[in-house]
Amino acid sequence: MHNQLFDNQVAIITGAGQGIGFEIAKQLASHGAGIILNDADETLAAEAARTIRDKGGECVAFAGDASNPEIIEGMVEESIKCFGKLTIAVANAGITLFGDFFEYPVESLRKVLEVNLMGSFMLAQAAARQMRLQKEGGRILLMSSVVGHQAHQFLGAYAMTKAGLEMLAKNLVLELSPYGITINSVAPGATLTERTLAEDPTYPKIWSAITPMGRPAICEDIANAALFLLSPLSGHITGQSLVVDGGWTSVSPLPDLSNLDVKKTNLG
């Protein structure tokens, strides 16, 4: 625990059992923050929290659906119970469901809206209420995507939610700034995670070829950007979206999706 940039800070991070969310949780803990680590998968949440504790961090697992209002309220209560306050909220939980627009099922649309938009909105709301009570300010971070900026085939519903999150961050500046609470978003591009590699073993090759920097992001790339926006170093930045994509949105070549079965692919 060398650099205590987040000493006396307490963070809720959703969808953090692995991938980007876990890396953000791990880095925050290594810099002194207490963590409430959420994941829908109870085993993943427990293992992730244990890994952070084994490295000397303070981390409590809290499993559950991050789009469930009761789970969200429970996480806020747990942060107060375990650490006495809440100063950071990262709405990282999300689901990606590819699908042909003409055939996109209502069930898929509802799930994407519930997790990506409603869950993020309610976490921001619950966290901001607690931060307002504490009168010490705070940081809220929403997880967007490059497809909130550029079109991507078969991701209309997902892209709509990510663009919506960026507008939410911009709009809430009006209501949160008087309480010293900043709200921003990070928009990752193609990122190597357990999920993306499991779904497509050719993912690194495909995205290395079409990303100007010559490789997709790794989780550390996204977490580094997140930590900046959550830290005291970004105190005058709010309502913004930081794109971390190796330059992809500047040129936006699409991957070859000719072999993708959009009716069966679930990348949530």
Catalytic annotation, residues: 158, 162
How long, in residues, is the chain?
Answer: 268
CB 112 within 8 A of CB 157: yes
Using H for helix, E for strand and C for coil, what is the string for the chain? CCCCCCCCCEEEECCCCCHHHHHHHHHHHHCCCEEEEEECCHHHHHHHHHHHHHCCCEEEEEECCCCCHHHHHHHHHHHHHHHCCCCEEEECCCCCCCCCHHHCCHHHHHHHHHHHHHHHHHHHHHHHHHHHHHCCCEEEEEECCHHHCCCCCCCHHHHHHHHHHHHHHHHHHHHHHHHCEEEEEEEECCEECHHHHHHCCCHHHHHHHHCCCCCCEEHHHHHHHHHHHHCHHHCCCCCCEEEECCCHHHHCCCCCCCCCCCCCCCCC
Q: Which two tokens stand for residue 208?
A: 């290395």
Distances 196 to 55, 135, 216, 250, 251 between C-alpha atoms, Å: 26, 40, 11, 22, 22
